[in-house]
Structure formats: structure tokens, C-alpha cells
Amino acid sequence: IVLSLTLEPVDGSDFFDEDKIVENLAALLNVPKEKIKIVKIVAEGRKRRSAGQEFLVEIANEPIQDEESMTEATVETMAKDLEQASEKLIESVQKGTLGDALDAGA
């Protein structure tokens, strides 16, 4: 799952705690935080600063290292886990609760 988030500064803060974003997203989606990585932070120019900070987040299982570990059950479990995370993410966006769930102000 690749997710692009634009978070507005909270209480006048222009910075966000990346660890808190990862922890809150993991809690929201019920996935281990080790599966979530902030892969890119887009620095906003001064004119766009009020628009917030953009983060590109990747949620993924670790790659399977050897063919013996790649059983049908393993692949199905990985796919099911990511599907459930996607459904929770979509639901929180549709309900407008993603920003509150992330509560990422520093």
C-alpha cells in the first residue's frame, strides 16, 4: 500500500513527529509498525507552507527471502493482511477520521 498524506500543522507547529505518524497509522490499521515506512517527505515552499507537510508512506510486508518460504498460505496471509489494512484506511478517509487518528503534531 502506498499512501500520500498531507498533514496540516497542529497548534502552529510546522513539524511532525514521524515516529508518532507511524505508530498511530499502525494502531489505526492494526499492522505492526515495522511494516510502515515513511519513504519520502516533500518539503513545501514558503508559499505552500500553510498547506501542510506531505508524506509518502509505504505499508508492506518484508520481501520473502527464499522460495521455500513462499507457500500459498504465506502469500494468502500477506494479501489478506494488506487488504484489511487497505479497507481500514479507506474507511477512515471516507469517514474523515484519518487526521484525528494520526494526531501527528509534534
Tens-digit pLDDT profile for residues 37-90: 888 877 665 554 456 677 788 888 877 788 787 888 888 888 888 888 888 888
What is the pLDDT, as a whole number, of residue 106? 45
| Whole-number Cα distances in Å, 86 to 14, 60, 97 | 28, 11, 15
Question: How far is it, in rounded angstroms, from Cα 69 to Cα 101?
Answer: 35
DSSP 67-101: GGG--HHHHHHHHHHHHHHHHHHHHHHHHT-HHHH
CA 21, chain centre distance (Å): 7
Write down the number of H helices and E strands in the chain.
3, 3
The pTM assigned to this predicted structure is: 0.62
User: What pLDDT was estimated at residue 14?
Assistant: 47
pLDDT at 2: 81
Q: What is the pLDDT of residue 42?
A: 73
